[in-house]
Chain A
Amino acid sequence: QVQLVESGGGLVQPGGSLRLSCAASGFTFSNYYMNWIRQAPGKGLEWISYISSDGRTTLYADSVKGRFTISRDSAKNSLYLQMDSLRAEDTALYYCARRGGSQYNDFWGQGSLVTVSS
C-alpha cells in the first residue's frame, strides 16, 4: 500500500535551517509529481512546493520562495525540503503528498512538525 513517512522536523531558532525528508513506498516513486503542504497550528492548509516526476520542474509559494528548496532522489524513493532562513511563521506541520493522476493530492503522509522559536 502507498506510504509516505516524513521525518526531520524539530525545534529550530529563527534564521536557522532544517531539512525534511519523506520516504515513499508502495508505488513507483519516479512516476509521480510530489508536493509539500503545511498546516500552522490551528490553521488551514497551505501548498508550499511542487516537484515534477523527473525533478526538473519545481514551483514554490511566494511565502517560501528563495528560502526553501524541494528535491527528490528516485534511487532512494525520497522527497526532500531544505528550509533555510526560517521564521516564526514557518512553524507548522509539514506534509508530503503524492500528486494523483489529475490535479489533486491522493495520498498524504502523517506530517513532520517544525517549530521555529528562540
Chain B
Amino acid sequence: QSALTQPASVSGSPGQSITISCTGTSSDVGAYNYVSWYQQHPGKAPKVIIYDVSIRPSGVSNRFSGSKSGNTASLTISGLQAEDEADYYCSSYTSTSTLEVFGGGTKLTVL
C-alpha cells in the first residue's frame, strides 16, 4: 500500500485535458510545498515533469501543470497527445522518519 493515493488509471482523447489526483496527509502533501510529479514510459527511467507543486523544469511542455489544495495535489495535462501515454507518479517530502513518499502511480491512456 503506497503512502500517497492516486487513481490506478485515467484516459482521455487527443486534445482533451485530464487531471490526476494525489492524496496524502498532513505529514506530507498537506505540510509542505514539495510535491513532485514523474512521467515514466515503458522500459524507461522516470523523468520529473513538475516539482515544488507547480514548477516545470526547463524543457517540459507547458501542457503540464500542477496544483495543490490541502492534502491533495493534482497534475493536469492539457491538449493530450499520444506521446503523453505513460505512467505518472506523485511524490512528496514527508516529516516522518522517511524522506519522501510516492504514490502508487496512474496509467494514462490516450484513446
In the complex, the answer to whether B102 meets A46 with C-beta atoms within 8 Å is yes
B52 located at the interface, meaning its Cβ lies under 8 Å from any Cβ of chain A in the complex: yes
A104-B52, A104-B91 as given contacts; A35 in contact with B45, CB under 8 Å: no
Expressed in whole angstroms, the Cα–Cα distance for A50 and B99 within the complex equals 7
Interface size of A by CB at 8 A reads 21
Closest to A105 in B: B48
The distance from the CB of A115 to the nearest CB of chain B, in whole angstroms, is 17
Closest to A109 in B: B45
Interface size of B by CB at 8 A reads 24
User: Which residues of the other chain, A, contact B2 by a CB distance below 8 angstroms?
Assistant: 44
Expressed in whole angstroms, the Cα–Cα distance for A95 and B44 within the complex equals 11
Question: Which residues on B are within 8 Å of A, measured CB to CB?
Answer: 2, 32, 34, 36, 38, 45-48, 51-52, 57, 89, 91, 93, 97-105
Question: Which residues on A are within 8 Å of B, measured CB to CB?
Answer: 35, 44-47, 50, 59-62, 95, 100, 102-106, 108-111
